[in-house]
Amino acid sequence: MTREEIIDKFCSMGDWINCSLENGEFNAVLQTAFAKNPWFCPTFSRKALEGIALWLKKDSLETFVKPYSFAAEAKKVAVIAAGNIPAVAFHDIMCVLLSGNEVVCKLSHKDDVLLPFLFGKYFPQEVVFESEKLKSFQAVIATGSDNTALLFENYFAKYPHIIRHSRSSVAILSGKETALQLQGLAEDMLLYAGLGCRNTSLLFVPKGYDFTLLAQACQNFLWLRDLNKYRNNLDYHRAIFTMNNVHFEDLESVLLTENTELNSAVSVVNYSFYTSEAEIEDFLSENREKIQIVSGNCSSTACESFGKAQEPQIDDFADGLDTMKWLDGLR
């Protein structure tokens, strides 16, 4: 296929996603994904698909690919997907196809419903999903935990590769946020039950910060307690903090505890008090390779707006590494 034909197919996919979400055609597949993975409730899968559909507009796709060449001869690129949020590998697969290459994909067993459903309809020859050991590929894009990524680095050392490690996201509050901004922050924290690398897991708040307004914003996510796995985590950590006399803020849908660790447990978000922006700058500088997104209000740091962490644009490459440029280099 030519690049123009690939773009047209993606546009058709985007239209199909939007229509099917609206008319209920996708309800069955959303329920199947939920049955296989209790973290993937239909609300989360729907949100992920809506975000994908926003990329699949002709103007957006043509602008996106314009700086990059199209492979004269297709290579097979292995995509090893994470399974933390629904259809998380879509962007990598899309980039490989738009670069003129083909995909052999090893999905996580946690997320093996939505992507075959989408690509099986529009790219059945160009995207092959393997359940066993990957064979016959010439380059690799792999995502996993820090431990898994180290294994990938060794195992795929002889191939051109992108290996993505775990990352976390941070928010900086000034104490002057509006209710609407805090509602956006609640989404950044709690969409996908906090399982994504773009989910805010650490808050920097000014000394003496009052969490009352943030607690009110998090009321919109009380429904998370209906997810058994999330509720179990919430109850467990509440009990552990209480028994160990660890101070925490109970926002009902999430627990906040004072801790400067970037990673936080499911149903828990860490926070740290600051007295100057210089403290935050030092932390961000020291942990740059572990941070995916910084959101909020800080005069000396480029920040995403609250509520945008889970709305990546088509050119928001994971870890800041331009996947399309890397694919260009496979010539």
**Answer CATH for 168-296 from 3.40.309.10, 3.40.30.10, 3.80.10.10, 3.40.50.2300:** 3.40.309.10
Both structure tokens of 95: 């980039």
> The pTM is what?
0.95
Question: Above 80 in pLDDT, residue 302?
Answer: no
The residue-averaged pLDDT of 116-138 equals 94
Question: At the topology level of CATH, where does 3-166 sit?
Answer: Aldehyde Dehydrogenase; Chain A, domain 1 (3.40.605)
Q: Of all residues in the chain, what percent carry a pLDDT higher than 90?
A: 93
The residue-averaged pLDDT of 130-159 equals 91
Domain residue ranges in the chain:
3-166, 168-296
The per-residue pLDDT for 131 is 83
> What residue has token string 């992507």?
115
Question: Above 80 in pLDDT, residue 299?
Answer: no
- Is residue 114 within 8 A of residue 28, CB to CB? The reply is no
- Phi, psi at 183, each rounded to 5°: -65, -40
pLDDT tens, position by position, 53-107: 999 999 999 999 999 999 999 999 999 999 999 999 999 999 999 999 999 999 9
Three-state DSSP state, 294 = strand
pLDDT band at 300 (very low <50, low <70, confident <90, very high): low
Three-state DSSP state, 323 = helix
Check for a shared fold between 3-166 and 168-296.
no
Greatest alpha-carbon span in the chain: 63
